[in-house]
Amino acid sequence: MSERKYRIAVIPGDGIGGEVIPVGQRTAEAVAAKHGFAIEWQDFDWSCRRYAETGRMMPEDGIAQVKGFDAIYLGAVGWPGVPDHVSLWGLLIPLRRELDLYANVRPVRLLRGMTSPLAGRGPEDIDFIVVRENVEGEYSEVGGRLYDGTDHEMVSQLSIFTRRGTDRILDYAFELAAKRKRKHVTSATKSNGIVHTMPYWDERFAAASARHPDIATAQYHIDILTAHFVQHPDWFDVVVASNLFGDILSDLGPAVAGSIGIAPAANLNPTREFPSLFEPVHGSAPDIAGQDVANPIAAVWTAAMMLDHLGEATAAAELEAAIETALEDPATRTRDLGGTADTVACGEAVLKALA
């Protein structure tokens, strides 16, 4: 057997992060053993818990600490008592920006045996990927507040769209579509209401389309696009969107595929200059944390995306297939999927399907 070994920084984070990430690690190790590679994990306790003790979500040199790893595997951060913008801007956003994780990739697939909340839809109807711009756009610190506390108090916040940032996410989406069967990219826009940045986005989308003539395209304003996700999920293959629109679409997408408890995500640095970060779409779920009922499938599927990015495509595909096999048995589904299995039992079912 070869000696392939990957070093992965693990940030379980808060709430159910600490329950689902160990399941993801165990399943990744099991598939690694079958495919002759090893994973070396190193844990980091960066979280709201740490914030409460130290006043920081991560140490000042946190980014430098993880830069040398092959990948980062994160549960979720956020906990009542720490404002969400503090946990997000204290950890996830700096990681995304400083590691230049500009492509947030979120697959949406109706797995075999799962029922979509959309009546009459089967696995052949729901199989698309949302590609979200992850480091600029509407999520910017440019702006401010004036005349605080007075009756002419005002706030402003600027959206930032650079040519480099826009072109590279659009190209990523087209290149991803080229690897898929349907070879189709949909752009989320709002160039009727947002008159500077969104017409620019459309212009760059047209230019990217010209660079990729074999890929079919469509474009919709974000408002009607959300309706199409529900009424015509079968129209979509790769959907590319700005940071804000992509954030919304990538929660709606998993909802049409059944549950946020199964939705995986990758924050990619496609140039591989820095490690990419892999995290389930869901948050820390304080409402169910500590009860052992969290669905670990999103974390397991996320681990599969990580293995795929590391070059272990066969192992990744096998882990994904094991998820689907395990979930076919209603007895292995967690509460969010209408079942009664606990977190650990659901993970055991994936391990069994792998073996």
Which chain residues interact with ligand NAI by CB under 6 A? 16, 20, 76-79, 84, 92, 260-261, 279, 282-288, 294-295, 298, 336
Task: Encode 218-250: b = buried (16+ Cβ within 10 Å), e = exposed.
Answer: ebbbbeebbebbeeebebbbbbbbbbbbbbbbb
The answer to whether 300 touches 278, Cβ cutoff 8 Å, is no
Closest CB to Mg ion among residues 252, 351: 252
What does the block give as tokens for 173? 């989406």
Q: Could you tell me the smallest distance in angstroms from the CB atom of residue 92 to ligand NAI?
A: 6
Dihedral over alpha carbons 25, 26, 31, 34 (to 10 degrees)? 130
The one-character DSSP state at 145 is: E
Cβ nearer to ligand NAI, comparing 274 with 278? 278
- What three-state secondary structure class fits 111? coil
Q: Please tell me the distance from the alpha carbon of residue 79 to that of residue 85, in angstroms, as a whole number.
A: 11
Q: How far is the CB of 262 from ligand NAI (least distance, A)?
A: 8
52: phi then psi, degrees, rounded to nearest 5: -65, -35
CB of 281 to Mg ion, least distance (A): 7
Give the long-range contacts of residues 49-53, CB within 8 A, separation 24 or more: 49/14, 49/79, 51/82, 51/86, 51/87, 51/90, 52/81, 52/82
Contact partner, 106, from Mg ion, ligand NAI, none, Cβ < 5-8 Å per class = none
* Cβ proximity to Mg ion, 280 vs 347, nearer residue: 280
Residue 247 binding result from Mg ion, ligand NAI, none, given CB thresholds of 5 to 8 Å by partner type:
Mg ion
Q: In the block, which residue shows the tokens 């395990």?
A: 326
260 contact, one of Mg ion, ligand NAI, none, CB 5-8 Å limit per kind: ligand NAI
Shortest Å, Cβ 85 to Mg ion: 13
Instruction: Indicate the residue among 279 and 312 with the shorter CB distance to ligand NAI.
Output: 279
Nearer to ligand NAI, 17 or 270 (CB): 17
Interface with Mg ion by CB under 5 A: which residues? Answer: 247
Nearer to ligand NAI, 216 or 344 (CB): 344
From ligand NAI, Mg ion, none, interface partner of 327 (C-beta below 5 to 8 A by class): none
Q: What are 106's strand-pairing partners?
A: 130
Min dist. Cβ of residue 288 to ligand NAI (A):
4
100 or 247, CB closer to Mg ion? 247
Closest CA to 337 of 242, 262, 281: 262
Shortest distance (Å) from residue 224 CB to Mg ion: 21
- Please check whether residue 261 is in contact with residue 336, taking contact to mean a CB–CB distance below 8 angstroms: yes
Q: Which does 84 bind (CB under 5 to 8 A by kind): Mg ion, ligand NAI, none?
A: ligand NAI
Residues 6+ apart with CB under 8 A from 267: 95, 96, 101, 103, 104, 105, 134, 276, 277, 278, 279
Give the residue with the Cβ less far from Mg ion, 123 or 286: 286
- The interface partner of residue 77, options being Mg ion, ligand NAI, none and the CB cut-off 5 to 8 Å by kind, is ligand NAI
Q: What is the nearest approach in angstroms of Mg ion to the Cβ of residue 247?
A: 5
Distance in Å, CB of 53 to Mg ion, minimum? 27
Q: Which one of ligand NAI, Mg ion, none interacts with residue 285, CB within 5 to 8 A by kind? A: ligand NAI
State the residue number with the nearest CB to Mg ion: 247
Q: Hey, what amino acid is at 110?
A: L
Compare residues 324 and 336 and give the one whose CB is closer to ligand NAI.
336
Q: How far is the CB of 197 from ligand NAI (least distance, A)?
A: 24
| Residue in 185, 201, 198, 174 with CA at minimum distance from that of residue 238 | 185
What, of ligand NAI, Mg ion, none, does residue 294 touch, CB below 5 to 8 Å by kind? ligand NAI
Residues 6+ apart with CB under 8 A from 45: none
Binding-site partner at residue 279 among Mg ion, ligand NAI, none, CB < 5 to 8 Å by type:
ligand NAI
Q: Could you tell me which of 248, 281, 250, 277 has the C-alpha nearest to residue 264?
A: 281
Helix 343-354 to helix 297-309 angle (10° resolution) is 40
